[in-house]
Amino acid sequence: MIDIHSHILPGLDDGAPDLQESLEMARIAVNDGIHTIIATPHTLNGIYLNSRSQVLARTGELRAAFAKDQIKLKLFPGSEVHLNLGMAEKLFSGETVALNDNQRYLLLEFPFHSIPPGAKQEIFQLQLKGITPILAHAERNYGFQQHFEQLYEFVGMGCLVQITAMSITGDLGRETRLCAQKMLECRLAHIIASDAHSATHRPPILSLGVKKAAKILGSTEQAEEMVTARPSAILAGEKIVIPEPEQPVKKRWFFLF
Ligand SMILES: [Fe+2]
């Protein structure tokens, strides 16, 4: 399996605080059947600012540490970019780094409480430069939980959607689990990732989420594609063909008199 969302680089954000934790996370990932991870530290979110050069350097250092400890895990650079103005320019100027540094896929994080009004405009600007945004853990966003039909619109305009394994298993709360389930049922989730932050509370484990997703989708093959073929295409910067999503039914209110 390939994990495209992980805070495994030490000391860059609220993920692994030091090298020991990074190595422990790597061992857990390998144990779970993960052979490749993209390191995606937070950036441009008003707290963390991790430049392309910084991420590339830290990725190189952690790769060397894996080799020294004989940990068989491939590591690639990336970042989790908070939605903000001028993201495309920031990518091309080196202020930040796309997934596997290939200027093709960007892991994009919305604020947790809302869907900002200018989001579609900013996404369109990325698309004009040939960059496909991947919405990070949309199931955890309160805006999508309340206005699920909006996710269909973002997918319709060409976004991919990443869902977090622990959301599917119910470890991140009921609302998040229900939203994750609905996303899978409507084919509005395309990639499963761990969003791992530590070896203990948020570990890099995909298998449990994939197993549950297979039940919801009624297909092991489709669930596995979300951690194999699609992430592999993202790494290679290749196009991904997604299934036609189902249009979600809008909430209706009935009043009895
Ligand atoms: Fe994350």
DSSP-assigned states of every residue in the chain:
-EEEEE--STTSSSS--SHHHHHHHHHHHHHTT--EEEE--EESSSS----HHHHHHHHHHHHHHHHHTT---EEEE--EEEP-TTHHHHHHTTSS--GGGSSSEEEEE--TT---TTHHHHHHHHHHTTPEEEETTGGG-HHHHH-THHHHHHHHTT-EEEEEHHHHTTTT-HHHHHHHHHHHHTT---EEE--B--SSSS----HHHHHHHHHHHT-HHHHHHTTTHHHHHHHHT-----PPPPPPPPP------
Q: Is the pLDDT of residue 256 over 80?
A: no
Distance in Å, CA 5 to ligand 1 centroid: 6
Q: How far does the centroid of ligand 1 lie from the alpha carbon of residue 195, in Å?
A: 5
pLDDT the model gives residue 254: 56
Percent of the chain with pLDDT over 90: 91
Domain boundaries, the chain: 2-236
- Evaluate if residue 68 carries a pLDDT over 90: yes
Ligand 1 centre from 196 Cα, in Å?
7
What pLDDT, on a 0 to 100 scale, did the predictor assign at position 45?
A: 83
Classify residue 210 as exposed, middle or buried by CB count within 10 Å of its CB (0-12, 13-18, 19+). Answer: buried
Mean pLDDT, rounded, of the chain: 95
Tokens of 181: 């389930």
Going by pLDDT thresholds of 50, 70 and 90, the confidence category of residue 46 is confident
Q: Answer yes or no: is pLDDT of 124 > 60.
A: yes
pLDDT of residue 44: 85
Q: How confident is the model at residue 247 (pLDDT cuts 50, 70, 90)?
A: confident
The residue type of 221 is: E
Distance 116 CA to ligand 1 centre (A): 18
Q: What is the pLDDT of residue 251?
A: 58
- For the domain 2-236, what is the CATH superfamily, name and number? Metal-dependent hydrolases (3.20.20.140)
Distance of CA 63 to the CA centre of its chain: 21
pTM to 2 decimal places? 0.95
